[in-house]
Amino acid sequence: MSNTLIKIRDVYFSWDGKRDIYAGVDLDIPEGKITAIMGPSGTGKTTLLRLIGGQLKPTSGSVEVAGQEIPKLKRKELYLARRKMGMLFQSGALLTDLNVFENIAFPIREHYEFSESMIRDIVLMKLELVGLRGARQLMPAELSGGMKRRVALARAIALDPFLMMYDEPFTGLDPVTLGTIVSLIKELNDALGLTSVIVSHDIGETFSIADHVCILSEGKVMATGSPEELKNSDSAFVKQFVNGHPDGPMPFHFPADEYTQDLLAGKDL
């Protein structure tokens, strides 16, 4: 049985102090596995990644990663903890004025005083893992969307993290590139002994590689389990989400006053 790498306990978080994004979330993320964080739009899935990485602090509650209470770390301690966390942003977030090689070398130079020959070996090794060693001299503007995401993935693993976080890694990709990214996430997790956390809306691709799935909604964890368990769930909410049904407990409308009364009220926006 896997150990728990990330423990989230009774976490509350709000942007404006009025509407809770999280209202007492409890969640365990197992070590060495691929965990998918899923749910309707606006439920704070990316916010969860930011809480894990210490970009945000919860209003209350505990976010523990590898035994460290992330919200309580001082800045220097947090930076050291982040060395072991890799992040793949949806946009790739490559530095546009640096070529592929320099993009991947950047975090290595930032954190370690390695020789240039060692940096070269590390960069080429990471590029080989994502199949782009031959593209090391290209600029980001010369890359396709899928290539940018693979370069960003190579950069995310440049410091040999034990935790990889993926924010919507499958969005906007053609079928071939999509299949490549799906396979890479699985292969890298297994080959490098990573723990991976994926935020995604793509049921098919995510379920094909995830070991553990957590569905969030209305500030709470609505369901957890393996993809197979969720596919066979009796929960009306889970059935609606997994199968994409328009009707069910998941509301289409944001809470509002009764429509006719709202129209007749004549209030300004």
How far is the C-alpha of 63 from the C-alpha of 56, rounded, in Å? 11
Q: Distance between alpha carbon 118 and the CA centroid of its chain, in Å? A: 30
Q: pLDDT tens digits for 99-143?
A: 999 999 999 998 888 999 999 999 999 999 888 999 999 999 999
H or E element in which residue 121 lies: helix 116-129
Q: Where does 22-99 have alpha helices with state H?
A: 45-53, 75-82
Is 90 exceeded by the pLDDT of residue 74? yes
Q: What pLDDT does residue 93 have?
A: 84
Give the pLDDT band of residue 268 (cuts 50, 70, 90): low
pTM for the model: 0.84
Closest CA to 194 of 65, 70, 86: 86
CATH topology of domain 1-79+198-269: Rossmann fold (3.40.50)
Is 80 exceeded by the pLDDT of residue 92? no
H or E element in which residue 167 lies: strand 163-167
Give the residue carrying structure tokens 């989230």.
Answer: 8
Q: Strand order of the sheet with strand 4-14?
A: 20-30, 4-14, 60-65, 68-69
Is 50 exceeded by the pLDDT of residue 219? yes
Give the pLDDT band of residue 173 (cuts 50, 70, 90): confident
Q: Please return the burial class of 141, using the count of CB atoms within 10 Å of its CB with bins 0-12, 13-18 and 19+.
A: exposed
What are the boundaries of each domain within the chain? 1-79+198-269
Give the pLDDT band of residue 1 (cuts 50, 70, 90): very low
